[in-house]
């Protein structure tokens, strides 16, 4: 029988960053020891203590109000031999990123051009960028909106807002607004699998939405070895059919099977990115698959660097 342990969730505060190439070498690793699999996974579940921990950590999030939805119940334990792949980011290249951008969502198109969504009241916007740092088609949201995740779907782009219950449908070519729609609850992350939109609200549940009407057409609860998760944030729908979700206030990204909600992999980015240690930087938030490759672009809120990475098996 597998050994079980009870472990507390351990939040961390991270950094963020607009675009020109900086280097192609991996940044230094943290001096922290790599968590054992059972310990790392337990920190991603939804223990009772999590709400108290995140109320403290929320002061560093830049989002102010931390009254996010959750699915907190019972202290979590996890068998150490859970069949989940443990991965780490291997840095292939780095690019300068706009350190004024409170990054909430990133998309990379087939030409390796970017669409970026940012947050904060009075500062939220959506814009295009290149990996050389050029920004175009910048549109600010009205002051009452706190911008959240974005996604490309066909010739449209969807942009969420945090607590306003409003989503913006935009033209992909110039990011101008086509229409707004309303939804219940909070908006955190969003991605498109080509047929439907998939949205997070800060809980451990992903909601499926119709790409034209934005009506809810389904949902799935995300679990690790049958136990609930919480604080799923920025999303990316990858070409391999998986959904990648960063977990708010942690160094971790989950790889999720959207059909079952099962977590099939955990990417631990702890200590991998120098940008997160820059003064004024906030948490990891921004993940986008680079089309036609095995690479992803990762960044964070107010980071000065974006990282092109592969996810490779963790060496223990």
Q: Is residue 248 part of a domain?
A: yes
Q: Can you tell me the mean pLDDT for 281-304? A: 94
Q: Is residue 81 part of a domain?
A: yes
User: Which whole-number Å values give the CA distances from 98 to 24, 112, 135, 148, 304, in the listed order?
Assistant: 19, 17, 10, 17, 6
CB 42 within 8 A of CB 86: no
Output phi, psi for 54, to 5 deg.
-75, -25
SS3 state at 164: coil
Q: Is residue 1 part of a domain?
A: no
Res 259: pLDDT: 96
Q: Can you tell me the mean pLDDT for 179-207? A: 97
Q: Is residue 292 part of a domain?
A: yes
User: How many distinct structural domains can be found in the chain?
Assistant: 1
Tokens of 161: 């807002």
SS3 state at 215: coil
- Tens-digit pLDDT profile for residues 249-278: 899 999 999 999 999 999 999 999 999 999
Which has more confidence, 40 or 151? Answer: 151
Supply the range of the domain harboring residue 248.
11-313
Q: Is residue 2 part of a domain?
A: no
DSSP letter assigned to residue 286: E
Q: Residues with Cβ < 8 Å from 279, sequence gap 6 or more?
A: none
DSSP letter assigned to residue 99: T
Q: Is residue 3 part of a domain?
A: no
Distance CA 79, CA 82 (A): 6
pTM of the prediction? 0.78
Res 82: pLDDT: 58
DSSP letter assigned to residue 19: -
SS3 state at 253: strand
Distance CA 315, CA 268 (A): 11
Q: Which residue has the tokens 């240690």?
A: 277
Q: Is residue 214 part of a domain?
A: yes
CATH at 264: 2.40.128.630
Res 43: pLDDT: 52
Q: Is residue 6 part of a domain?
A: no
- Tens-digit pLDDT profile for residues 29-64: 233 333 444 445 555 555 433 332 233 333 333 443
By DSSP bridging, strand 77-79 and strand 85-96 are unpaired
Q: Please give the span between the terminal C-alpha atoms of the chain, in angstroms, as a whole number.
A: 22
């Amino acid at each position: 029988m597998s050994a079980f342990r009870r472990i507390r969730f351990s939040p961390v505060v991270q950094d963020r960053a607009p675009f020109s190439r900086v280097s192609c070498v991996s940044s230094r690793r943290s001096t922290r020891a790599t968590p054992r699999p059972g310990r790392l996974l337990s920190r991603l579940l939804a223990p009772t203590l999590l709400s108290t921990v995140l109320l403290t950590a929320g002061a560093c999030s830049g989002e102010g109000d931390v009254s996010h939805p959750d699915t907190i119940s019972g202290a979590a334990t996890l068998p150490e031999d859970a069949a989940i792949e443990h991965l780490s980011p291997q840095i292939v290249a780095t690019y300068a990123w706009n350190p004024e951008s409170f990054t909430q969502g990133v998309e990379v198109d087939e030409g390796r051009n970017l669409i970026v969504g940012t947050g904060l009241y009075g500062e939220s916007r959506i814009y295009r960028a290149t990996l050389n740092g050029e920004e175009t088609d910048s549109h600010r949201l009205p002051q009452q909106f706190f911008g959240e995740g974005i996604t490309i779907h066909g010739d449209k782009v969807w942009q969420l807002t945090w607590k306003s219950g409003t989503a913006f449908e935009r033209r992909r070519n110039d990011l101008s607004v086509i229409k707004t729609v309303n939804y219940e609850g909070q908006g955190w992350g969003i991605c498109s699998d080509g047929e439907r939109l998939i949205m997070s609200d800060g809980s451990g549940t992903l909601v499926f939405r119709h790409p034209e009407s934005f009506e809810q057409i389904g949902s799935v609860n995300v679990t690790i070895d049958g136990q609930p998760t919480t604080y799923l944030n920025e999303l990316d729908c990858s070409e391999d059919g998986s959904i990648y979700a960063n977990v708010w206030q942690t160094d971790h990204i989950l790889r999720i099977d959207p059909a079952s909600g099962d977590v099939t992999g955990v990417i631990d980015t702890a200590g991998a990115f120098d940008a997160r240690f820059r003064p004024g930087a906030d948490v990891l938030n921004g993940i986008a698959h680079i089309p036609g490759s095995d690479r992803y672009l990762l960044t964070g809120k107010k980071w000065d660097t974006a990282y092109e990475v592969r996810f490779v098996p963790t060496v223990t």
